Each structure stands twice: as C-alpha cells, then as structure tokens.
Structure 1
C-alpha cells in the first residue's frame, strides 16, 4: 500500500501504473456492487450512473499513470527528488548547493550535484564534506544508484555555459 501513496519511492513507472490499475479494479468492483444494490432496491438509474462514475475514475487514473510514465520517458523527475537532494545537504554543515540535477535511468536514479564549500578549507576537509553529503543523499533517497558530487566556484553554472570564454568550431 505504501507504493500507491508515494510515487517517488524508487519503483518503476510501470509498477506504479500497475498499482493504479489495481486500485481502479478495486474501486470498479465496489461500484458495481453499489450499482447492483441500487437497481435491486428499485432505482434503475443506479447502474448507468455508477457506469459513468467508473468511467470518470478510470480516466483520472489513466491520466495519472500516463503523466508519470511520460515524465520518466522525457528524463523528468518528481519535484520532490531535487527537494530531497537539498534536504540531504541541510544535514551537512558548510555546504551550499550550486546546481542539482537528477534523472531516471531505468529503475535507478542518478544525481549530478555541484556544491560549494569554504575555499579556505584544506582539500582533504572539502573532500570529507563531499563524501558526507554523498552518504546523506544515499540515505535519503533509496532509489539513488549514482551520485556525482563536484565542486563549483559558487556561481550557478548555467549562467556561464562556456567558462573558458572560447568557442569550439
């Protein structure tokens, strides 16, 4: 049941869609019983009304499933994934996230995070901070398979697409 409540649990989009399908089957069975009961009690419109409600429910669940599958196909991630990366950083003193990206590759999540630390620290200490941050990400994100943590100057990298100032022909 936990899988149905948490679409970002690290399970595949197809498995989530199967969960939605199972939920639809259960709701449909319950609605059929209610419709049959209504007809049996003398309300003949109960059956078509229940049929329309079932149709609306199925369209809603198809929409949820399709949105999830298409998002994954287009390398999208749920907004909570990036929030989890930032949350993991909150547990590590002296770290600032400059840029965070994530994508699903199959059933596993891959993250690429640029961080900034105090430049007056020795490199060994900065590496320990980066390793601690990586450990926190793996702890907070069970579906995480790979994390690339790299140091950045402290400016958003997308502001400077070509840091060396020259073009490649």
Structure 2
C-alpha cells in the first residue's frame, strides 16, 4: 500500500545542483585572514612607532585601529575553524553559526577602538598637546591609507566570492581604517599649515569614522544572527517552487548559518500522491531553486496534503 502525501514523513532534504566547494572556500578564507593580518600588523606597528615619535593622536588612533584588526583576524580565523565541526545530536546544524558569532567579536573590537581613539583625541584637544616630526607622521598616514585599501579590497573580494558575512564585515573594518588614516593625514597637514589643533580634531573625526563602521558591522551581524535575509530571496524561492508542476502553492523560509543559505519550502500537493511522487516533485523544486537562488546552499522540502489557502 502506497503512502499518500498526507501520510508521508513531513520533510526531506535535497541536494542542490550547484554544490559548493566548502573546503576550498575555507582555504580561501583562512588565506585572506592570514595575509591581511600580516599586512595590517606591519602597517600598524610602523604607524604606532611614528605616533610615539610625533605625538600625533590621529596617527595613534589609526595605529591602534590597525593593530586591532590583527586581533579581529584571529577571531575570524577561530570562527572559521569552529564552523568546520560536523553536525551532532547536540548541534544538528554543526557549528556554522560560529562564523556569525565571530562577527560579534569584530564589533566589540571596533567599538573599543572608538572609545580609545576618542578619549585620546579629546584629551589632547583639552590639554593643547603638541605634534612633532610632521613629515614622518604624514608618511605614516599615507602608508596606512595604502595598506588598508589593499587589505580591504582583498578581503571584500574573497568574502563576496564565498558568501562570508564575517569576512565582508572584517573588510569593511579595514576600509574604515583607510578612512581613519586619511583623517589622520588631514590633521597632520593642518598642523603643518600652522593649525596645532588640527591633529586632535582629526583624531575626533577618526573616532566618528570608527563609530560609523561599528554601527554598520553591528547591524549586519545582528541581522544575520536574527535570521534576517533579503526578502527577494523568499519571493524568488516561492515563485521557483510554485512553477513546478504538481505544486499547488508554496511557502518559503530562509536563513543564513555562517556561509550557508538554508531554504525551506512548504509545498501543497495533491493528497493522493505517493511518497515517491512527492519526492520526485521535491527534486524538481530543488532544481528550480538552485537555478533561481544561486546563493542557496541547502534546501528542505516539506510536502503538505491538499490545496493551500493562499490567505494562510
């Protein structure tokens, strides 16, 4: 006796046609993190040395921010390592969320950098601190701009290629460092032109840049952890599923776990269909979703018996 759609198991997972090279993506991510950490460490140490020599708080804030990127790189690396864990009874989806949780570490470091840079800048402005060796400071700020732009572009490219929200957030952090370096440069130029307060004001401006990116990084991390997705993903997934013969109505949900976009489709079908026929429809749905939603990495098909009420 055949099982009908109303009697079958409620859900089934189907492989998508465009399988991901997860191991290759992890290698790319780890390489991006390692290369950027080395580059930022070198840039930050040079800037820190020049900040001590010149007494520039703008350059000091930029140096601390660059060196903080090295610590966030370590957090990102840890997140990628933990996300390799296989699913278990305690963690049925594995630890892919570790990549998203690593984003929290990045946000914390960004905000801590903002507090430190802001404190030092306000203190220098109040105490009328001096800045020396302006040319050396300008060279250090220019080095910061170049180094951070290169690192940010590299990490952003890899992050988008492998759909890593954490790596993209880390790239934005590095992009901010380039802007903060530009702010430090502007302050030093102002000092060179006879405006001694320029460096302290630049430090405050750098703090503003840091706060802006801190807000963006925090917003993106919270969005992912709260299972937020682009509404268009759900709309397209429902349209793709509904276009499959035999699917009367489809309802989709989606969420990110690390770099994996998990899509769940509830499809209402003829209650007289057998389990085999429902599975066949599920495979067709998986094929359509993989074509229309290329970012999808996992699909769960749930067959519901009977015509659906579109108002439900």
Q: With structure 2 as the length reference, what TM-score do the two structures score? A: 0.40
Q: Deviations over 1:35-65 (max 9, x none)?
A: 1112212233332332222211111111111
Root-mean-square deviation (CA, aligned residues, Å) is: 3.8
Equivalent of residue 260 in structure 2, options 96, 105, 108: 108
Unaligned residue ranges in structure 1 (runs of 5+): 160-169
Equivalent of residue 70 in structure 1, options 207, 222, 232: 222
Unaligned residue ranges in structure 2 (runs of 5+): 1-152
Q: With structure 1 as the length reference, what TM-score do the two structures score? A: 0.66
The aligned length equals 155
Equivalent of residue 43 in structure 1, options 161, 186, 195: 195
Structure 1 equivalent of residue 309 of structure 2: 155
Structure 2 equivalent of residue 167 of structure 1: none
The question of whether the paired residues in 1 share the 8 Å contact of 2:244 and 2:284 is answered with: no
SS in 2 for 1:99: strand
Q: What is the distance in 2 between the residues matched to 1:77 and 1:23?
A: 24
Q: Which has the higher helix share?
A: 2
SS in 2 for 1:30: helix
Larger radius of gyration: 2
Whether 1:135 aligns to 2:276 is no
Higher relative contact order (CA 8 A, sep 6+): 2
Please state how far the C-alpha of 1:112 moved relative to its aligned partner.
0.6
Structure 1 residues 73, 49: CA separation in 2 closer, same or farther (over 3 Å shift)? same
